């Protein structure tokens, strides 16, 4: 077993407001369980929706579990284009509370390639996947191809 266990997050950007509390509760439970399994590094793509909820949940757990780390693996510096002021404020809060930020500056980089970088080296993947199309399902499929344990908290 590796010294450092890593978990990545992937999920939909659009989440119904009435689901957020339930998803946040599930994230708290799953993250605590992963910490008990030895996960110390958590990776988020920093996007709206599930990535934001996951990053905020890790930041919350860092208060109790000082040894865990949050890494943002973001596709580009200006990914907040078109976001609301509230979303941008949360994004900056997450940036300021992250232990490491990886930025893919190339605009030519395909989203699939970015998602592979998020998954590569991970031992677990926590997903919020309600649909069978889009980048979330492709990321989960890639994680499965790497024999990474998937937790789909939408189920």
Q: What is the pLDDT of residues 29-68, one digit of tens each?
A: 999 999 999 999 999 988 889 999 999 999 999 999 999 9
Contact 129, 136 (CB under 8 A): yes
Residues 6+ apart with CB under 8 A from 28: 57, 60, 61
Give pLDDT, residue 64.
95
Q: Where are the beta strands (DSSP E) in the chain?
A: 5-11, 39-44, 69-74, 100-103, 124-128, 149-152
Residue at token pair 């119904």: 16
Both structure tokens of 1: 């077993």
Is the pTM higher than 0.95? The answer reads no
Give pLDDT, residue 136.
87
Phi, psi of 114 (to 5 degrees): -60, -45
Give pLDDT, residue 80.
87
CATH number of 5-152: 3.40.50.450
Residue at token pair 């200006």: 78
Both structure tokens of 137: 């399902």
Give pLDDT, residue 151.
95
State how far the Cα of 90 lies from the Cα of 36, in Å rounded to an integer: 27
- Domain residue ranges of the chain, discontinuous segments joined by +: 5-152
Give pLDDT, residue 3.
73
Q: What is the mean predicted confidence (pLDDT) over 86-108?
A: 85
State how far the Cα of 90 lies from the Cα of 67, in Å rounded to an integer: 23
């Amino acid at each position: 077993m590796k010294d450092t266990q890593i978990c990545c997050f992937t999920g939909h950007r659009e989440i119904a407001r009435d689901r957020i509390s339930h998803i946040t509760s599930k994230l708290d439970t799953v993250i605590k369980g992963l910490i008990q399994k030895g996960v110390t590094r958590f990776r988020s793509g920093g996007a709206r929706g599930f990535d934001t909820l996951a990053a905020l949940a890790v930041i919350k757990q860092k208060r109790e579990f000082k040894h865990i780390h949050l890494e943002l693996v973001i596709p580009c510096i200006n990914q907040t284009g078109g976001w609301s002021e509230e979303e941008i404020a949360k994004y900056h809060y997450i940036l300021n509370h992250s232990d490491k930020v990886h930025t893919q500056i190339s605009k030519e980089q395909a989203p699939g390639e970015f998602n592979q970088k998020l998954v590569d080296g991970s031992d677990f993947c926590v997903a919020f996947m309600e649909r069978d199309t889009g980048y979330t399902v492709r990321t989960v499929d890639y994680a499965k191809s790497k024999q990474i344990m998937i937790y789909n908290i939408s189920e």
